[in-house]
Amino acid sequence: MQYYRKLHGLTQESFADAIGKSWSFVAKVESPTRPFGVSMETMFKIAEVLEIPVSKLFED
């Protein structure tokens, strides 16, 4: 997610606003050291904002 967010030139704050979440939520999801659960509804919103298929969010 972080790769695609940066590719779009979005900060964590602006991305969080676009998906209707807090910047701390984005930071937790992007953290490589701790797993963090995300609902399917949020996954689809993330994919929509980043203009990518949801499946891209599951790739390494």
Q: The domain spanning residue 54 has which CATH number?
A: 1.10.260.40
**pLDDT for 9-38, tens place per residue?**
999 999 999 999 999 999 999 988 888 889
Structurally, the chain folds into a number of domains equal to: 1
The Cα 59–Cα 17 span in angstroms is 24
**Domain span including residue 31:** 2-58
CA 56 vs CA 17, 21, 22, 24: distances in Å: 21, 20, 22, 22
Placement of tokens 């967010």 in the chain: 5
Sign, CA dihedral 27-20-37-7, equals negative
- Among residues 8, 25, 7, the alpha carbon closest in space to that of 16 is found at 25
Flag whether pLDDT at 52 surpasses 80.
yes
Quick one: pLDDT at residue 33? 85
